[in-house]
A and B are shown apart, each in its own frame.
Chain A
Amino acid sequence: MDCTELYLGTQKQLQENVRVSLESGYMSEIASSQSFIDDYNTWVEWISIKYNNALFLLALSEYETSIVFCLQSLYKQAFTGIRSCLEHSLFGIQLSTNLYQFLQWKNGNYDACWSKITDQESGLFSKPYISAFCPDMCTLSNIVGVSTRNLYRECSEFVHGNYNIAFSYTEEFKYNEGNLLIFFDKLKNLRYILEFSLFVRFQNEFDSKDISKFEPQLVEYLGHLHEINDFLSISDKGE
């Protein structure tokens, strides 16, 4: 078997994995995951008006490819993609709050540091930060912060090759329902964290037309929070 035969054969196997995944009975989870691409893109386009959106574009590509990897039953790569999407998005938000850090990053002198992003005193889920940008959401800072750290840690097990993960990957690349469901569960968490974080950071820069534009996705992902309903209701009264 030469290289051409090897890799074309691999592609055939992956294609078969995609077919099995699509016929697994979880089309609604697949479709929900896929539809978030447009929602995130709405943020990317809005952010590009005032800020650099390179990291958000990168995050979006990671999100999209993680779905593709999952359908191909490349679960390790899929979970790695979730972690990358999360990290790029939150780093992008962090840089949007600090021009100096952004310019340092642009010059190659500053890197993403997860511990800084999630620092409990000064990070994106700390009370001081959320009080500054969106005081109404302060009560949720702890719970979303914990959820974010957990998601990152769980996905990191795949990046670092922890024993329990490495052990399960001695098997062939085949469809695994359990892994598929775990992936969708994590992706759902990711969507919630991203919507929350983007809303907290940027909502005070919304005008009324922006609110109208983002309303459908805010209601879908965060609509169970009374803070969001209050925000949309207050906006409705033109306050």
Chain B
Amino acid sequence: MENLIIRTEEILDSKILDYYVETKYDEKILNQLESSVPCLLVGSRGVGKSFLFRVMRQRLTDHFGLEHILPVMVTFRNATLLETDNVEKIQMWMLSKITTEIIRAFKKAGIITSRGTFLHGTNSVEDEGSYLEEICSQFENSWRTNSSYIPENFPTIDNLLYAVEDICVANNISRVIVNIDEAAHVFIPAQQRQFFTMFRDLRSPYLKCNAAIYPGTTCFGDSFQPMHDAVFLHINRDIQDENYISFMKETVTRQLEDSTKIQQLMSYGNNFTLLAYAASGNPRLLFTTLSLVDKINAENTNRVFREFYRERIWSEHSSLAEKFPTCRTLIDWGRDFIENVALPELKEKNDKYIKGDKPTAISIWMNRDAPQSIKEAMRLLEYTGIVSENATGIRATRDKIGTRYIVNIGCLMSLEPTPTSTGMNIVKRISIKRMSEYGDNSLHYSSLSDAINLEKFNTNQFLVDQLEKSIDLLELTSWQKEKLHSVSIDTIGNLVAATEDEVMKAYYVGNVRARQMKNSAFAAVFEYLLG
């Protein structure tokens, strides 16, 4: 099916609202994005983060005369221009980009006008707009020069906030909302930490920021506190929602101008429904799979499952190792675990359940005391959409508590010999409560060593600095810290490098406490492992 637009950037502003299919879920997210509270929009690739930003921008633009809220879109690109060891330059580059887009938005709204014109010459009148442009110019010049000297009167974030406030007050604007797309993806982790420090500070009664991030691969740094500095909005479309299929259908048909194509789509309704479920709530996956074939007849649909959900989606996950080479072990383990353990187990169970006319399973559960490295591997799987975190604090067998993940249904269905014949049997009777459970010491974790060899990371100065910090900075009890010191585990690096057995040499420390201590250390360094 040709000409489906897969990426949001390719949709014209004039069409964006035509393509938007309103749901209560999305409206709730949009209301939060339009509020005065900074939001982090979290979702794997293709779920619709950029799309919702664009919808929000278009709506606020259309209603600017009534609501006086000015939307601004920023997408970070060309991050490779930056010198990664100079944190001030990184911040200047980000601020320059944000300020440039704020100025463009003010111009598009007619609030400020072009400075140099044929009719008026260079406008020498000092006004709020010229002050903001002067700040932008200084940010711009700062990151472009080779000098690291920053003069005394150099503008700060506060100056930017004051400049925006002056313009808003003078023009009766309620607030400016800056939506930052690809907020972390293009940055190396060191730059991400700088970004979130800036994100936290870019806030005033007249300006706030939203940012779109991926789960699992975002580094917040130490000064940004996720619980306090932003509201997290997770985009997870529930395939069990009664309106899910109609939503996906509408999302596709709105792009099809040709009624013949719509007719054709509807004539293969069952196969479309199957592919919609296989996409697991991710519109881009659905568009991508539909664009692979002309007609979604049985033969083509089964081919999609074979070629896309059994091969291509996995190679995309494995290619993550090129972006995060230090996490190759985690990435490979994650693929191996889901592809060769979790999915076959679910299929085997479902075959029995279906025969016995019982509910089927699409979720796995992991004990909250599983090694941190395992949890980080699962988060990397979330990034590529292989799994999605469904809920935390879920009770399983023997009253243990853990996290429930839903696997990509397309990957699960691809194990069927003929998905078009049997795939709907799985989907029609899903029970989220049926889970394949993996305890705190599952045998499947053993291939991912609990002791990480840190020698290969000694060129990463950020990581080295983090590892040299004392364990006293970790979120452990005084007693736990005392026990670690008693066995000469004094730094975070010592604790990460030690095995659980070595930690258990401390008096009265069993395997549960050893696991907790190691998890704390690993959580503190994981984002630095990314780079």
Interface 9-residue window, one of A129-137, A195-203, A221-229: A221-229
Bound complex: CA A51 to CA B454 (Å): 55
A238 at the interface (CB under 8 A from B): yes
Shortest Cβ distance from B195 into chain A, in angstroms?
Answer: 16
Chain B 9-46, CB within 8 Å of chain A: the 1/0 string?
A: 11110000000000000000000000000000000000
A47 at interface by CB-CB < 8 Å = no
Asked whether A34 lies within 8 Å of B119 as measured between CB atoms, the reply is no
Q: Which of A65, A212, A232 contacts B118 (CB 8 A)?
A: A65
Known: A28-B64, A226-B7. A61 touches B118 (CB 8 A): yes
> Is A49 interfacial (CB 8 A cutoff)?
no
Is the beta-carbon distance between A232 and B77 smaller than 8 angstroms?
A: yes
How near does chain B come to A2, taking the closest CB pair, in angstroms? Answer: 28
List which A1-47 residues lie within 8 A (CB) of chain B: 27-28, 30-32, 34-35, 37-38, 41
Given A209-B144, A235-B77, A237-B80, check contact A37 B114 (CB 8 Å): yes
Which residues of A have CB within 8 Å of B118?
A: 60-61, 64-65
Knowing A34-B113, A209-B144, A233-B77 touch, does A68 contact B119 (C-beta < 8 A)? yes
Interface centre among A211, A216, A229 (most CB of B within 10 A): A216
How long is the Cα–Cα vector from A30 to B78 in the complex, in angstroms?
Answer: 31
A28 touching B77, Cβ below 8 Å? no
Instruction: Give the CA-CA distance A85 to B10 in the complex, in Å.
Output: 28
With A28-B61, A28-B108, A223-B9 as known contacts, state yes or no: A236 contacts B77, CB within 8 Å. Answer: yes
Main secondary structure on A side of the interface with B? helix
Asked whether any CB of chain A lies closer than 8 Å to the CB of B100, the reply is yes
Does B186 make an interface contact (CB < 8 A)?
Answer: yes
Binary contact readout B110-133 vs A (1 if CB under 8 angstroms, 0 otherwise): 100111111100000000000000
Are B78's CB and A229's CB within 8 A?
no
Interface residues contributed by chain B, number (CB under 8 Å): 30
Question: Would A236 and B80 count as touching, CB distance under 8 A?
Answer: yes
Q: Is the CB of B12 within 8 A of A224?
A: yes
Q: A61–B120 Cα gap in the complex (Å)?
A: 11
Known: A208-B81, A212-B78. A28 touches B119 (CB 8 A): no
Q: Are B113 and A224 in contact (CB under 8 A)?
A: no
Flag whether B303 is at the interface (Cβ < 8 A). no
Nearest-Cβ distance from residue A73 to partner chain B, whole angstroms: 17
CB neighbours of A41 from chain B (8 A):
114, 116
Q: A32-B108, A209-B144 are in contact. Are A37 and B117 (CB under 8 A)?
A: yes
A226 touches B10 (CB 8 A): yes
Contact between B7 and A229 (Cβ–Cβ < 8 Å)? Answer: yes
Tally of contact residues, A, Cβ under 8 A: 34
Contact A235 B107 (CB under 8 A): no
Q: How far is the CA of A94 from the CA of B100 in the complex (A)?
A: 31
Residues of the B chain whose Cβ atoms lie less than 8 Å from the Cβ of A205: none
Enumerate chain A residues within 8 angstroms of B75, measured Cβ to Cβ: 219
Indicate the member of A219, A224, A235 with the most B CB atoms within 10 Å: A224
Instruction: Give the nearest-CB partner of A67 in chain B.
Output: B119
Q: Which residue of A lies closest to B115 (CB)?
A: A38
Find out whether the CB atom of B109 lies under 8 angstroms from the CB atom of A28.
yes
B107:A31 contact, CB within 8 angstroms: yes
CB atoms of A229 and B110 under 8 A apart: no
Q: A35-B108, A64-B118, A236-B186 are in contact. Are A229 and B9 (CB under 8 A)?
A: yes
Task: Say yes or no for A119: interface residue by CB 8 A criterion.
Answer: no
CA gap between A64 and B116 in the complex, in Å: 11
CA distance A37 to B117 in the complex (A): 7
For B186, the closest partner residue in chain A by CB is: A236
Pick from B64, B78, B101: contact of A236, CB under 8 Å: B78
Contact assessment for B114 and A225 in the assembled complex, using a CB-CB cutoff below 8 Å: no
Check A34 against B114 for contact (C-beta < 8 Å).
yes
| Contact pick for A28, options B7, B78, B100, B110, CB 8 Å | B110
Provide the residues of chain B in CB contact with A211, threshold 8 Å. Answer: 78
B341 within 8 A of A: no
Q: Cα distance A125–B144 when bound, in Å?
A: 35
Knowing A34-B110, A60-B118, A216-B104, the reply to whether A225 touches B10 (Cβ < 8 A) is yes
Q: How far, in whole Å, are A64 and B404 apart by their CA atoms in the complex?
A: 60
- Compute how far the CA of A61 lies from the CA of B77 in the bound complex, rounded to whole angstroms: 32
Proximity bits, B150-187, A CB within 8 Å = 1, else 0: 00000000000000000000000000000000000010
Please, how many angstroms separate the alpha-carbon atoms of A223 and B9 in the complex? 6
A32: B residues at CB distance < 8 A: 108
What separation, in Å, do the CA atoms of A31 and B101 have in the docked complex? Answer: 15
* Contact across chains for B110 and A238 when beta carbons are under 8 A apart: no
Selected from B77, B100, B119, the residue in CB contact (under 8 A) with A64 is B119
Known: A61-B118, A236-B78. A224 touches B107 (CB 8 A): no
Of all chain B residues, which has the CB nearest A223? B9
Chain A's nearest CB lies how many Å from the CB of B142?
13
Across the interface, which residues of A come within 8 angstroms of B10, CB to CB? Answer: 224-226, 229
Can you list, as one digit per residue, whether each of A134-170 has a CB less than 8 Å from chain B (1) or not (0)? Answer: 0000000000000000000000000000000000000
Tell yes or no: A215 within 8 A of B by CB: yes
Cβ A208 vs Cβ B78 within 8 A: yes
Pick the contact of A31: B7, B78, B110, B115 (CB < 8 A). Answer: B110
Cα distance, A80 to B11, chains bound together (Å): 31
Which residues of chain A come closer than 8 Å to B110, judged between CB atoms?
Answer: 27-28, 30-31, 34
Given A225-B10, A237-B80 in contact, is the A35-B107 Cβ separation under 8 Å? Answer: yes
Other A-B pairs beyond A35-B113, A224-B11, 20, CB < 8 Å: A31-B107, A34-B110, A37-B117, A38-B114, A38-B115, A38-B116, A64-B118, A64-B119, A65-B119, A208-B81, A209-B81, A209-B144, A216-B100, A224-B10, A232-B77, A232-B78, A235-B77, A235-B78, A236-B186, A237-B80
Chain A positions near chain B (C-beta within 8 angstroms): 27-28, 30-32, 34-35, 37-38, 41, 60-61, 64-65, 68, 208-209, 211-212, 215-216, 219-220, 223-226, 229, 232-233, 235-238
A-B contact pairs, 17 of them (CB 8 A): A28-B61, A28-B109, A32-B108, A34-B107, A34-B114, A35-B108, A35-B113, A41-B116, A60-B118, A61-B118, A208-B81, A212-B81, A215-B77, A215-B78, A216-B101, A226-B9, A236-B78
